[in-house]
Amino acid sequence: MVRMCLSSGITKLLREARQGRHEAADELMPMVYDQLRRLAETYLRNERPGHTLVATALVHEAYLRLAGADVDWKDRVHFFAVAAKQMRHILVDHAKTRRRVKRGSGGEQVSLDDVTLAYEDGAFDVIAIDEALNKLAEFDPRKSEAVEMLYFGGLTYEETAEAMGTSVATVQRELKIAKAWLHTHLRGGR
């Protein structure tokens, strides 16, 4: 019940912000901050030790991008799906900058344990993951979107199904195929 009330409050504020009530964005931040922070901590927990980006900075950068975005917000689920995409892009940009600075170093590593892909070292180059998801999106955007919402957006299967306009069973099927494809692609298979 509390989550439903919070969800409808977030949706209401998103609509008001879209309609030009600037105070709505200020009211929204405290309502979404904790979930954005948990999402950022999940991302960064899987990063290499000594990562220079902290959860607070990731949340604030993502929120600034979201607040300035010209998005027709549908609801809370849509907001967190877009937030996940923004955080992913921020981390990829950070990794690319770091790679440029180190001139060809091995790049940043991120674990995909949450996606349950089995690899020996348990860590991946965040840029390679981004490229793989972009490649998957080229021929099957729904599968890429499902991965992004579930694992990068922290949405539940039910919320992902709602956002995608499909059933939970379909989301589970899409995810199973996407994980197999990502596993193959990240292992060097094309």
pLDDT score at 5: 60
User: pLDDT category, 145, cuts 50, 70, 90?
Assistant: confident
Under DSSP, the state recorded for 68 is: T
Q: What is each CA distance from 25 to 95, 103, 144, 157, in whole angstroms? A: 29, 40, 29, 27
pLDDT at residue 138 above 90?
yes
Looking only at Cα atoms, what is the longest distance across the chain? 52
Contacts of 11 (CB under 8 A, 6+ apart): 73, 74, 75, 76
**Residue 136 has what pLDDT?**
92
What pLDDT digit, counting tens, does each position of 42-84 carry? 777 766 666 677 888 888 888 888 877 778 888 888 888 888 8
- Give the single-character DSSP code of 151: I
Q: 43-47, 53-57, 95-99, 156-160: which has the minimum mean pLDDT?
A: 43-47
**Which residue in 86, 59, 91, 88 sits closest to 71, CA to CA?**
86
pLDDT band at 121 (very low <50, low <70, confident <90, very high): very low
Q: What average pLDDT score do residues 137-156 get?
A: 85
What is the per-residue pLDDT for 109?
43
**Does residue 39 contact residue 84 with C-beta atoms inside 8 Å?**
yes
* Mean pLDDT value across the chain: 78
Q: What pLDDT score was predicted for residue 173? A: 93
